Amino acid sequence: MAVNTREQFLDAAETLFAERGFYGVSIAAIGTELGLTKQALLHHFGSKEKLYGEVLGRISDRFDAITTQTSAASDPTEAFVAYFIELYGASLEEPHQTRLLMRELLDNRRRADTAGTWYLKPFLEHLIRLLQAIPSWRTASEMEALAMIYQFLGALNYYAISAPTLTGIFGDDAYAELDQAFPSQLDQLMRSALSARG
């Protein structure tokens, strides 16, 4: 029960922070989610900030796992696209994760001095290297590459957080159709944009 409780707290916290934001969730609310009091939470994590930090750390680890595991691919274009497919899969498997990272992106001015850039920097640098491995992009500067990467990243992440809104607007059936059309169109978007340079 011991280690398990900690993990359960992290799961509950990740979900709630993703849905309501850091200030929108009280530690008491996270506690009652497991049928416990907020002091049980404080016993394990010390403070709300530390809990939040551990939630972010766990997500960071997941990204590292994706980066190290998706390295194998012969063609550089395929390797690049494969990485984004992996990211897309991760956003489906861990739907709260993308929302929480988006919030972090919005709030980062608050913690710009402290944790700063944490997970994002090595992640973006890896993507830049993947893109520059493609022959027609070898002459691109780091920032030119990043500008293109950011378009794909934006397309993917923005969509990932919009599901409830889009179902609200268009209904479940229409959203299912949209959800089916999205990944192939993202694939098409990436390939056409990547090959447009040359």
Per CB under 7 A, residues contacting DNA are 1-3, 5, 25-29, 31, 35-40, 42-44, 46-49
Tell me: does residue 28 bind a second copy (CB under 8 A). Answer: no
Site residues (CB under 8 A) for a second copy, limited to 114-133: 116-117, 120-121, 124
Contact yes or no for 137/145 (Cβ under 8 A): yes
Tell me: does residue 79 bind a second copy (CB under 8 A). Answer: no
By C-beta, is 62 or 96 nearer to a second copy? 96
Binding partner of residue 43 among DNA, a second copy, none, CB under 5 to 8 Å per kind? Answer: DNA
Tell me: does residue 48 bind a second copy (CB under 8 A). Answer: no
Residue indicated by tokens 């990944």: 183
Q: How far apart are CA 164 and CA 177, in angstroms?
A: 14
Q: Give the DSSP per-residue string, 131-196.
A: HHTSGGGTTS-HHHHHHHHHHHHHHHHHHHH-HHHHHHHH-HHHHHHHHHHHHHHHHHHHHHHHHH
- Tell the smallest beta-carbon distance from residue 42 to a second copy (Å): 20
Tell me: does residue 46 bind a second copy (CB under 8 A). Answer: no
Contact yes or no for 17/46 (Cβ under 8 A): no
- 48-69 and 38-45 helices, crossing angle to 10°: 60
- Tell the smallest beta-carbon distance from residue 183 to a second copy (Å): 9
> What type of residue is 108?
N
- Tell the smallest beta-carbon distance from residue 1 to DNA (Å): 5
By C-beta, is 9 or 123 nearer to a second copy? 123
Binding partner of residue 110 among DNA, a second copy, none, CB under 5 to 8 Å per kind? Answer: a second copy
Q: How far apart are CA 131 and CA 182, in angstroms?
A: 22
For the chain, what is the total number of helices (H) and then of strands (E)?
10, 0
Residues that bind a second copy (CB under 8 A): 19-24, 99, 102-103, 105-110, 112, 116-117, 120-121, 124, 141-144, 146-148, 150-159, 161-162, 164-166, 168-170, 174-175, 177-178, 181-182, 185-186, 188-189, 192-193, 195-197
